[in-house]
Amino acid sequence: MAQISLSIKGRIFNVSKDILCEYSDYFRAMFSGNYVETKQQEIKIDTLEPDTMELILKYMQMGLIDLSDHSLTTIGEIAIAASFLQITELIKQIEYILDLQISVSNWIQIMSISEQCSYAKIEKLAIVHGLLSFQNMKPEYVPSIHVLAWYLSHPFLDSESEGAIFKFGYEWLLHHETGADALLIILGCLDIKRITPTELKEIKKLVKEYENSLAAKVVDCLYDLFDKNWELTCKSLQDHKTIICQNFTERVYNEVLNNIRNSSVRKLLYTPVIPIWILKDTKPEFLPHYLFSFTHENKFQQWLEVAEKNLWGWSIVSWGPSKIVLVCGEHGRGTGIYMRDVKVYDTLRKDWIWHGVHLPHRRHAGCAVIEDSLYMIGGVGAFRVVLDTAVIYDLKQRSFRKIAKFPDSIQNPAVCSHDNSIYAAGHKNIYQYEDQGDRRDQWKTVISTEIRMSCMRSYRKYIYCIQSYFSNLYRFRPGIDKKLELITCFSSPPSTMCNMRDNLVVFTRTVSDVTSVEVLKGDTKDEKPKVIYTERDTTIRVNEVAGSCVVVLESPPTEWEVSQYVRSYLQHYNE
């Protein structure tokens, strides 16, 4: 077996030619072609690091490498070396481990590694993960102001408000002490047409210590335009140029005009998905279990079969913007054969993942998710016992633990998450789960009700509640209100509702073969829901006890460049 020496930045490695050719297309081409290296005993490579090459050679000699033992930085160095040396099998393994490790704290680093190594699929997955994880992002995860501007201005950034985006950028700037001029970069990242007067008022408070800066004057001007009920458009600004320049300055006017002209436009779309039965002349236990999507353009569309035909009492809940969790259920009524595993559907990868766990017997549970914790409350267990038990299942670690018993034994409790807390409706009260640590947890009564709520959803600062036998819509502010507020009525009894960020979408129960969809903005108490869709003689029925959610159904585009306005200010900051 011919031996050669590899000189990597002065460090010598003696290795078999055959092993190099077996694993590396780079060396195979080098030693089989008409190259001068074919006859050399020492090959010099200065583009790789010696420590990285040592790991690569160990992989070649052993035929395997446990990448999980190494830091992401080291994996990135191995990835660069593997791409340079064209080690196909190792590249596949690296792509696999990078995909598994993508998280809110490291997606930017994985994006960078993938970009350097031309891992297009992993790069896209990392970017999408980052865009859809904005609510859990922290300023310290962003390495530079250039990345910050690209991230905050991206059309598919998942944020409920422009105020939250500005606050994120403002906190980053404070930590990096960039000065007041950098505030103009953050303002240039916002979707001005989406911003509200309340958000601008909060932004004014944040930049108060920079009140003499150009950025603060721009914010004051935007707020003044809102106060005068002028449209935030280029035409409106140009029509009122004289007044604006009198109240501020021409420089402020030009800055606001350029800001509006180059404003980002948020494009991320959420789609409600609803469990639907397709009514046929057959027994209920043989009806297929589908999720339907609903959009203004396509109305109801059959989207995904979620469970076996005989699974009864299953529940779905969203886990982040792009995952749907299916849990619980009994295979046939009264069989005692339960679905005790957890299934997760990834809407971006278009694939189901079985967790391979063994949960307690349960069907018809109430479910909600906070970050990676799935709460399952109440339901029906073995021997048809109505449950007062509750568990938390860790969707990352794939383990569960019991928590304090729910005050009521209840089937299909309405459950929702709001401001990182879990709320659940009993027979006559709504409770909040409190975990004080040291195994001290409890369910605290927050609202008394005269009726049992069938569905609750967090929307803006309120929790909205419905009961499927009545047409009323109620709400309350956790920690503030002591009783439910009746705010409006629907045209038909509601079955479930979804928070679409800008409005609530409510799906009515089938009454006389009629299915309707109604929308509520929720801005005022006396607002009436708007019926946006009605279908008569329908063959579908909402499965109101299985839950509903909103998710991103299609992977958003990731190609994006910041506006010329933002680029002009970024020139002052070195990469």
Cα 453 from Cα 434, distance rounded (Å) = 21
Phi–psi pair at 541, nearest 5 degrees: -140, 135
DSSP state, 326?
E
**Alpha-carbon gap, residue 536 to 519, rounded angstroms:** 19
- Whether 252 is covered by a domain: the verdict is yes
Characterise 479 by phi-psi region: left (phi > 0), alpha (psi -120 to 50), beta (else): left
Measured torsion, CA atoms of residues 470, 476, 482, 487, in degrees rounded to the nearest 10:
-50
Residue 71 lies in a domain: yes
Residues 64 and 212 in one domain: no
CA 425/CA 414 separation, integer angstroms:
5
Instruction: Please check whether residues 151 and 224 belong to one and the same domain.
Output: yes
Containing domain of residue 284, as a range? 270-553
User: Is residue 259 situated within a structural domain?
Assistant: yes
Task: Report the distance separating Cα 442 and Cα 434, nearest Å.
Answer: 5
Q: Residue 575's pLDDT is what?
A: 63
Contact 525, 487 (CB under 8 A): yes
Report which DSSP code applies to 128: H
**Do 475 and 505 fall into the same domain?**
yes
- Tell me the pLDDT of the chain (575 aa) as tens digits: 588 999 999 899 999 999 999 999 999 988 887 776 677 888 899 889 999 999 999 999 888 888 988 999 999 999 999 999 999 999 999 999 999 999 999 999 999 999 999 999 999 999 999 999 999 999 999 999 999 999 999 999 999 899 999 999 999 999 997 888 899 999 999 999 899 888 999 999 999 989 899 999 999 999 999 999 998 899 999 999 999 999 999 999 999 999 999 999 999 999 999 998 877 655 656 667 889 999 988 889 999 998 776 889 999 999 999 999 999 999 988 899 999 999 999 999 999 999 999 999 999 999 999 999 999 999 999 999 999 999 999 999 999 999 999 999 999 999 999 999 999 999 999 999 999 877 789 999 999 998 999 999 999 899 999 999 899 999 999 999 999 999 999 988 999 999 998 899 999 876 566 788 999 987 677 788 999 998 877 778 888 899 999 999 999 999 999 999 999 999 988 76
Tell me which amino acid residue 304 is: L
Quick one: which of 311, 327, 317, 321 has its CA closest to 347? Answer: 321
- Structure confidence at residue 63 (pLDDT): 84
Structure tokens, 182: 């950098």
Rg (CA), the chain: 29
113 domain-assigned:
no
Helix axes 214-227, 197-206, angle to 10 degrees: 150
Query: What is the pLDDT, as a whole number, of residue 282?
Result: 58
Between CA 350 and CA 538 the distance in angstroms is: 29
Asked if residue 472 belongs to a domain, the reply is yes
Which residue bears the tokens 């290795």? Answer: 15
In degrees rounded to 5, what are phi and psi of residue 188?
A: -70, -10
Asked, for residue 110, whether it belongs to a domain, the answer is no
Do residues 503 and 376 share a domain? Answer: yes
The predicted model scores a pTM of 0.89
Q: Are residues 313 and 439 in the same domain?
A: yes
Q: How far is CA 387 from CA 143, 238, 365, 390, 439, in A?
A: 49, 65, 9, 8, 21
- Same domain for 36 and 73? yes
The predicted pLDDT at position 3 comes to 86
Specify the pLDDT at position 510.
60
**Does 122 map to a domain?**
no
pLDDT at 280: 66
At which of 56, 74, 101 does a domain end? 101
The span from the CA of 468 to the CA of 181, in Å, is 54
**Is residue 174 located within the same domain as residue 51?**
no
Query: 21 and 62 share a domain?
Result: yes
Between β-strands 3-8 and 42-44, what pairing exists: parallel, antiparallel or unpaired? parallel
The predicted structure's pLDDT at residue 398: 96
Residues 79, 48: Cα–Cα separation, whole Å: 11
Residues 95 and 201 in one domain: no
235 phi/psi in degrees, rounded to 5 = -60, -45
- Tell me if 133 is assigned to some domain: no
Residue 30: CATH number of its domain = 3.30.710.10
Q: How many domains does the chain have?
A: 3
Side by side, the strands of the sheet bearing 472-476 are 455-459, 462-466, 472-476, 485-489
User: Looking at the structure, do residues 215 and 240 belong to the same domain, yes or no?
Assistant: yes
Say yes or no: 158 and 253 in one domain: yes
pLDDT score for 1: 54
Within 13 Å and on the Cβ side, how many CA atoms surround 500?
20
Long-range contacts of 114-119 (CB under 8 A, 24+ apart): 116/76, 116/79, 116/80, 116/83, 117/79, 117/80, 117/82, 117/83, 117/91, 118/83, 119/79, 119/91, 119/94, 119/95
Residue 297 is part of a domain; what is its CATH number? 2.120.10.80
The answer to whether residues 395 and 368 belong to one domain is yes
